[in-house]
Structure 1
Amino acid sequence: MNPAKPTAAGSVRVAGIVTEVLAPWVVIILLSTAMSAKATGFHAWHTPLWALVVAVFSAGVPMAFIARGARRGTYDTHHVNNREARTVVFLVCLGSTAVGMVILLLGSAPWTMVVTTVAMLTTLVVTATVTAVAKWKISMHTAVSGGGVAMLACVYGPSALALAGLVALVGWSRVVLRDHTTGQVCAGAVAGFAASAVVFLALG
């Protein structure tokens, strides 16, 4: 009996849970709520309203599109691991997030929520460009979580940087599941963090 096998199987199970619990759409929903709470002063209905707009158009609509494609066999899984299929997904994400930003602007949403959406769009553009031009499957999981940490740090303060440990955990899960290489998860984290930080420093 090989004692390494049970350990490896356990790691894969844990990695699978982490990948789902901290999937991009989940992180975006949590992030939009945290950002809206700070931007609205934890207002009874303004907070959920603006959080909902960002969550629906930056996470809900894209995830619904991906889930539908996965059920039809267009994508291998709801994580769209096949790089070639990601182009359409990126376009849907960009379009839906842009619609959300228009709604925020027309509805006179707090500026922080607009900047949050701009940061998400910037991260999408960077990761989509790397994927399409370099033909390299940069990790969206770590790009989103890394960007989230940068945004929270800009709004809540440096203490939010402690959440970087979760970004590392997400990266570990993607490597263990063999959906990405170490380089791809590191590049995703750096790209997401840098893009979001630059946007907030410039517009926040």
Structure 2
Amino acid sequence: MPTVVDPSTRSASYRLARTSTEVFAPAVFAALLPVVVAVHSTAPALAVGLGWGALAVLFCSVIPYGIIWWGVRRGQLTDHHIGVRAQRRRPLLHGLVSVLVGLALLVLLGAPRPLVALVVAMFAIVAAIGAVNQVWKLSAHAAICAASVAALGYLFGPALTPLLALIGLVGWSRVRLGAHTVGQVIAGTLLGPLVGAPIFILLG
């Protein structure tokens, strides 16, 4: 079981872990990565890329995480990271439906192929996380972070190798906060790229 950390802790390491967990949360990657991929795919037409990216972000980040925040406000979820495994099924299903609707729109409207590939990969990763979380609390933070770093590395090459440090930082933060065990973080770190990378590369 994850180690329970007293929320009143005010050590520097705890504050760093809390900040890292929020700044590099799945919602952040889901909001930034589609824009980066869309702009990269449509360069030098920046406005076109931003438009496609905004459409993808609406269905891959804004709507799914809006549903989560609404659940927190209504008291149906304990927190926006959905720390209680039993509470994850419904938000994940709603998120998958939203991503699927967004994917259909992107395909029908003729979105850039790499962006469509990214959204398919995101759908597959979230589906895999949801399946595992029915029986075990795998780290979604680690999975999304690792998959996002892998996608950026594929697009921009070795220049972004330093981003690998983010995977370690995010994994450490989840363990430090008592949200996951080391094993759950490692499993998430492996699942994200293993599920997402082949899809992104083959379809993109």
Both structures adopt the same fold (TM-score exceeding 0.5): yes
- 2: CA distance, partners of 1:30 / 1:124: 17
Q: Give 1:144-155 correspondences, 5 Å limit.
A: 144-155=144-155
Runs of 4+ in 1 over 6 A off after TM superposition: none
Q: Which runs of 5+ in 2 are unaligned?
A: 1-8
The aligned residue for residue 173 of structure 2 is 173
1:150 and 1:13 map into 2 onto residues whose CA distance is 27
Distance 2:60 2:46 in 1: 22
Aligned partner letter, 2:110: S
**Native 8 Å contact 1:150 1:161 kept in 2:** no
Whether the 8 Å CA contact 2:37–2:114 is kept in 1: the answer is yes
When structure 1 is superposed on structure 2, of 115-124 and 43-52 the one drifting more is 43-52
Quick one: structure 1 residues 155 and 52, their matched pair in 2 at CA, closer, same or farther if it must change by over 3 Å? Answer: same
CA–CA separation in structure 2 for the residues paired with 1:199 and 1:159: 23
* RMSD, matched Cα: 1.4
Say which structure, 1 or 2, has more relative contact order (CA 8 Å, 6+ apart): 2
Unaligned runs of 5+ residues in structure 1 are 1-6
Letter in 1 for 2:156: Y
% identity of equivalent residues: 36
Tell me how far apart the structure 2 counterparts of residues 130 and 176 of structure 1 sit (CA, whole Å). Answer: 22
> Does the CA-based 8 Å contact 2:96-2:123 persist in structure 1?
yes
Which residues of 2 match residues 29-178 of structure 1 at below 5 A?
Answer: 29-132=31-134, 135-178=135-178
- Contact 1:119 / 1:199 at 8 angstroms: preserved in 2? yes
| Equivalent in the alignment of 2:193 | 193
Deviation at 1:45, TM superposition (A): 1.3
Aligned length: 196
Which deviates further from its counterpart, 162-171 or 62-71? 162-171
Are the aligned partners of 2:143 and 2:188 in contact in 1 as well (CA < 8 Å)?
yes
Task: Calculate the TM-score normalised by the size of structure 2.
Answer: 0.91
